Amino acid sequence: MAGFPMAAAVADMVNSWNPGTPLRQRTEHQGAAMLQKLKKIDPAAIASDPRTRRWGKRFAIFMAVIGVLGFLVVPPVLKSVLLSKLGEALHRDVAIDSISLNPYTLTLSVSGVSVRDRVDGKPGDEVFGFDKLTVNAELASIAVAGIVVKEIELVGPRAKLVRLPDNRYNISDLIPPADEKKPEEKSGLPRFSVSNIQIRGGKLSFDDRPEGVQHEIADVNVRIPFLSTLSYYSDTYVEPHFSANINGAPLVLNGKSRPFDDSLESELVLDLDNLQLAKYLAYSPVDLPIKVLSGALEGDLRFRFLQTKGQPSTLSLGGKLALKDLKVTEAGGAPLIGLKRLEVALRDADLLKLAIGIERVALESPEIDVRIDRQGVVNWLGLLPPAKADTTPKKADPNAPTLQLLVEAVAIKEGTVNLLDQSTAIEQKGSVRDINIELNDFDSSGQKPLGFAASWKVDAGDRLQVDQVAIKDGRADLKKREIVVGEIATLGARARMTRHRDGTLQWFKAPALRAAKAAAKEADVPWLVTIDRTRIENQSVQFEDRSFSPAANQTVEIVSLLAENVSTKPESEAKLALKLRVNKKGELAVEGTVKPMLPQGELRLDVRDIELLPMQPYFSEFLNITVTRGQIAAKGTVSLNPAKEGVAAGYKGDLTLGNFHTVDKANSADFLKWKSFYFGNIDVRTQPLNIAVGEVALSDFYARVIISPEGKLNLTQIARKDGKDEKGAENPAGKAGEAAAEKPAAPAAEASADAAKPAEAPVAAAKPAKEVVPIKIGKVTLQGGNIAITDNFIKPNYSANLTKIGGRVTGLSSTEGSMADLELRGSYDGLAPVNITAKLNPFAAKSYLDLDAEVKGVEMTGFSTYSGRYAGYAIERGKLSLFLKYRIDNNQLSADNRVFLDQLTFGDEVDSPEATKLPVRLAVSLLQNRKGEIDINLPISGSLDDPQFSVGGIIVQVILNVFTKAITSPFALIGSLFGGGEELSYVEFDYGYSTISAKMKERLQTIAKVLEDRPAIRIELAGRIDAERDREGLKRALMERRVKAQRLEELVKAGTEAGSLDDIEIPAKDYPKYLERAYKAEKFPKPRNLIGLVKDLPVDEMEKLMMANMKADDEALRELADRRAKAAGQWLERDGKVAAERVFLLKPNLTAKDGPQAEKASEARVDFSLK
């Protein structure tokens, strides 16, 4: 080599090659050394050297041979071999335009390559081809014992892929089956170095014939600076480049990598621009339950991989990715989701460590459609894959990385959520629009609190409209599980609800979701939520209740609501201020504090002018009155406290029902009205129930009592008794009312037929003692009352008024032993005063009442229409007074009802088909005393526990019984007034006699008093006899007269004054003597002794013989009856001082059963009758 300095320099450079030295350092060092050696070479010496010439010739010949082979021989041979081998291997027609080789530059070029399918033995469509392939190798391959390529350039590559209708591809025959693939033996990487790899103008066409779609990747450009497995290239970055237009959308990839270094450090930059997703998702290897109609990807992503010895590998992702113009539907075509743009800007994301940092997530105009089908399945949940049978959770790998997600900012703008709920009976639709959400500093580890804010609008048609809902200054601490919201504001909400006739509410109902088994899990610590400020303004709720006819329409407007510090913390206290407007006129204000989690609170309530008229439909179907006016007002404090069962509520304050006015539907007349019904100092509490009212005042009230032309009282017709409600179902209350109406007034009234006896009610079954609710009412005041009474049933109509009604009740209480005082006053028709006083305790377990009531001097001419219709006479004059005493103790009633009629005088007779046929005038005459007064006391008694006991029914029945008895049993009535009962209707005599006994004289004395006190009546007397016993009595009476005649004769002979025969009295010891004389004086045959003299007989034998021979025929009996009547009449005239013109004798009654009360008394009597 000494003679060849140039060769020696090259040899030294090769020998000094050190692969461990960096490439740049090696190149600079070797180049400098070679320049130093070349400077020492003398060109003239080299040229004159014979060895140089000899090797020069040899080299020239070698280069000439290489040139001939490279330029002329190798290209056609290589072309022929390639055409043959490729055509056989590919089973297709292969064409190559030219192949050229430059052996001096080691450059190979292949041009115009085309591979085509064979169709019927002829070339068909091109499958693969390229314009030109150039490969430039280097001699350094020899030095490194590997392949060193300076440049590879592929120009215009093109390929066409066709999917056939049978899902095969046009190149399927070129892909070997999986079982034919042989495992490759692992070996070390080959030694090579390839520089300047370029693909320019590439194109890939895909014809998807089953789908009728064509795809094209054009303008494919690839640049790879070098690839090398040589050690001196391992620490040099490879910076590849890829760009193409995929169906018109540009795609750019840039990167750098050390693929053959131990670190495998690599970086890839992906540049996407308008990549259409819809065209590629159709080729997903799995069936998707959705259809992507549109959507494009764009972005700039950087992937970086690094493997450091002794450290975990890292795979990081950075850059940004955007999805725009996305429209996705369900498989059936129903809309699912759409968005204008979704952009995610990554900060640093280590995919292997699951540490993901996101700088920003921006979502523009998303629109989500949520649909719940008739089976209760949410469309979004239906997209999830079915759960596996084995749901046993796998044990977590303790070494597995935990997701660490950091999101600096999330912004959602102009979002929309559409809801379609078909799971309910009525389909529900609604939208949440203009959704704007901002999230800041989300940290999955909870190291930072999450900040958030949101706003949206609600559009659900007529059912609900909300202009704005806004959440401001929100913070969520994931570690402490606590959420704090600065403010929630709802502005301009309008809701409309409708309840239909069947009771269903036409608004939003909870969806009928299909139930799913919840996975068992440990109870989580509950979240704490605090809302610093809640603000609601300008809200309105319209409620139309069509379950009533006419429909009830209510409008509630929330003028403002401000709540502060609303929290789920147990002891947190919130402040509340609420103002409502009810039906445009009424106002309701609530202000105070409340602890919602207990619950506990105290709220000040102020209610003004809430109208009752809009509430009318709620009771119009149940009441026969129409509320035409009325307002509710209240002012007080509502308290809430926790209790064993729910919440204990209370109210302290006032309540007023004012300007109340109702109209009776049946009569179209005012029914009930008042100016003010005031409840003051109310203190009501629940659990336990306790009611206290300081004052109740009813002023300027009016009530109207009307009897309809059909005879129905409006008070009993207020509650409807249709028996069926508006839905056609039976109304138990209505049925009960009808049943009660069909029953008689009360059996107890029949027991009161005798006015002198208290009414006795059946003993009712014992009831358990009811629990007494503590009730206390300090004072009840009535003022300016008026009760109008109109009877349209009677013709002509009757009207009356109770006016100037006023009074008070003090001390009402349910406390045992307490008594309230009642005082009421008024006026009947402005003339007759009405006064009521009482002591009462109506709230006790056993109510107590001690009542005195009186009304004096009611003019009775107003009742003339009633007397004319039912009595047959008009009332010419008279006054009525009532004096009532009622006492209720231990649910036992005892009452005195004194009825006083003064100067009741009947006028002209009235021709009425309903008038009684009884002698009414006589009844009045019997009841009136000589002053023209009728004074009747009607005592009644009974048990209020008896459901059939009716005070009103008993009083009416007793009054009717009094008048009936005055006509049909006048002496029974007189007996109840003067004593004596029914016995006053007759006087009895001993059989056969007409002498009045002392006892009968007392009875006559009573009758004389009656006649004296009732000068308008007359008495009639009729004697009567007992045909059998009076006949025997008459014989004894004749016998006794004969005996008395013997005594009278003896007295006359002795010169002693004796009077009449009736005045003779015979001592008992002398009776046998005078009997014997009378016996012997009789002319009938007598028993005699042996010598023919009248035989001496015992007293009884003599009496029997004398009576047997006495004559007592029917005429004698008639005379006896006549004598008895005359004796009674004479006593009344003589001793009773009864005017003779008022005493009349009637024809004697000789038949055994003639005359009144014959079945109760002796027939030897005189019967009386009054006229």
179 or 153: which carries more pLDDT confidence? 153
647 or 846: which carries more pLDDT confidence? 647
**Which residues, in sequence order, are bridge partners of residue 302?**
269, 318
- Provide the pLDDT for residue 89: 82
- Provide the pLDDT for residue 970: 67
DSSP 221: E
**Residue 1130: which region, alpha, beta or left (left: phi > 0; alpha: psi -120 to 50)?**
alpha
Strands 464-477 and 450-459: antiparallel
pTM metric for this prediction: 0.64
Contact at 8 Å (CB) between 240 and 222? yes
**Residue 584: which region, alpha, beta or left (left: phi > 0; alpha: psi -120 to 50)?**
left
* pLDDT tens digits, one per residue of 569-595: 888 899 999 999 999 889 999 999 998
DSSP letter string over 814-851? -STT--EEEEEEEEETTTEEEEEEEEEETTSSS-EEEE
Cα 1006 to chain centroid, rounded: 76
919, pLDDT greater than 70:
yes
| CA atoms of 440 and 472, how far apart (whole Å) | 13
Q: Which two tokens stand for residue 717?
A: 């017709």
655, pLDDT greater than 50:
yes
| CA atoms of 1137 and 1007, how far apart (whole Å) | 11
| CA atoms of 1048 and 1066, how far apart (whole Å) | 10
| CA atoms of 944 and 1087, how far apart (whole Å) | 78
- Give the containing element (helix H, strand E) for 443: strand 428-443
**Dihedral angle computed from the Cα positions of residues 919, 923, 929 and 932, in that order, rounded to the nearest 10 degrees:** -60
Domain residue spans of the chain: 5-74, 622-634+644-721, 981-1170
472, pLDDT greater than 60:
yes
305, pLDDT greater than 80:
no
Least confident of 126-130, 232-236, 596-600, 1068-1072: 232-236
Mean pLDDT of 735-753: 37
* pLDDT tens digits, one per residue of 384-425: 776 655 555 566 666 667 778 888 899 999 999 998 888 777
**Which residues, in sequence order, are bridge partners of residue 776?**
692, 813
Choose among 412, 457, 454, 453: nearest CA to 434.
457
Please give the share of the chain, as a percent, with pLDDT higher than 70.
78
33, pLDDT greater than 70:
no
Q: How many CA atoms does the CB half-sphere of 182 hold within 13 Å?
A: 3
Question: What's the burial of 477, exposed, middle or buried (CB within 10 Å: 0-12/13-18/19+)?
Answer: middle
| CA atoms of 237 and 250, how far apart (whole Å) | 26
* Rounded alpha-carbon distances, angstroms, from residue 26 to 16, 18, 23, 30: 9, 8, 5, 6
**Dihedral angle computed from the Cα positions of residues 1075, 1080, 1083 and 1084, in that order, rounded to the nearest 10 degrees:** 80
Dihedral of alpha carbons 505, 511, 517, 523, sign: negative
126 or 59: which carries more pLDDT confidence? 126
The per-residue b/e assignment along 1002-1040, b for 16 or more CB within 10 angstroms, e otherwise, is: ebbebbbebbebbeebbbbbbbbbbeeebbebbbbbbbb
* pLDDT tens digits, one per residue of 759-807: 444 444 455 556 778 888 989 999 998 888 887 777 777 787 888 899 9
Contact at 8 Å (CB) between 859 and 911? no
- Give the containing element (helix H, strand E) for 141: helix 140-144
What is the 3-state composition of the chain as percent helix, strand, coil, each rounded to the nearest 5?
Answer: 20, 45, 30
- Provide the pLDDT for residue 1013: 81
Choose among 601, 468, 600, 599: nearest CA to 590.
601
Q: Which two tokens stand for residue 281?
A: 């998702």
Dihedral of alpha carbons 987, 988, 989, 992, sign: positive
* pLDDT tens digits, one per residue of 842-892: 777 777 888 898 988 888 888 888 888 878 888 888 888 888 888 888 778
Residue 136 has a CB neighbour count (10 Å cut-off) of: 17
945 or 600: which carries more pLDDT confidence? 600
Choose among 599, 695, 705: nearest CA to 656.
695
Contact at 8 Å (CB) between 791 and 863? no
- Provide the pLDDT for residue 871: 80
Mean pLDDT of 324-350: 88
| CA atoms of 102 and 462, how far apart (whole Å) | 85
Binned at pLDDT 50, 70 and 90, residue 740 comes out as very low
Mean pLDDT of 798-826: 86
263 or 447: which carries more pLDDT confidence? 447
**Residue 42: which region, alpha, beta or left (left: phi > 0; alpha: psi -120 to 50)?**
beta
Q: Which two tokens stand for residue 328?
A: 């996705």
| CA atoms of 912 and 1134, how far apart (whole Å) | 44
- Provide the pLDDT for residue 675: 92
| CA atoms of 1123 and 616, how far apart (whole Å) | 81
| CA atoms of 1091 and 1104, how far apart (whole Å) | 24
Please write down the HEC assignment for all residues of 629-644: EEEEEEEEEEEEEECC
* pLDDT tens digits, one per residue of 349-385: 777 777 888 889 999 999 999 988 888 788 888 777 7
Binned at pLDDT 50, 70 and 90, residue 1155 comes out as very low
- Provide the pLDDT for residue 51: 76
1105, pLDDT greater than 50:
yes
| CA atoms of 1072 and 1099, how far apart (whole Å) | 6
| CA atoms of 943 and 949, how far apart (whole Å) | 7
Query: Is residue 1156 classed as helix, strand or coil in its secondary structure?
Result: coil
995, pLDDT greater than 60:
yes
909, pLDDT greater than 90:
no
| CA atoms of 158 and 126, how far apart (whole Å) | 9
Helix residue spans in 49-129 (DSSP H): 50-68, 74-90
Contact at 8 Å (CB) between 558 and 537? yes
| CA atoms of 127 and 114, how far apart (whole Å) | 8
Mean pLDDT of 1127-1140: 89
**Residue 728: which region, alpha, beta or left (left: phi > 0; alpha: psi -120 to 50)?**
left
Q: Which two tokens stand for residue 577?
A: 């201020």
- Provide the pLDDT for residue 745: 37
Contact at 8 Å (CB) between 623 and 720? yes
Q: What are the two backbone dihedrals, phi and then psi, of residue 37, each rounded to the nearest 5 degrees?
A: -75, -35
Average pLDDT of every residue of the chain: 79
**Which residue bears the tokens 């003299």?**
1093
Cα 829 to chain centroid, rounded: 50
Topology of domain 981-1170 in CATH is: 60s Ribosomal Protein L30; Chain: A; (3.30.1330)
Omega prior to 758 cis, within 30 of 0: no
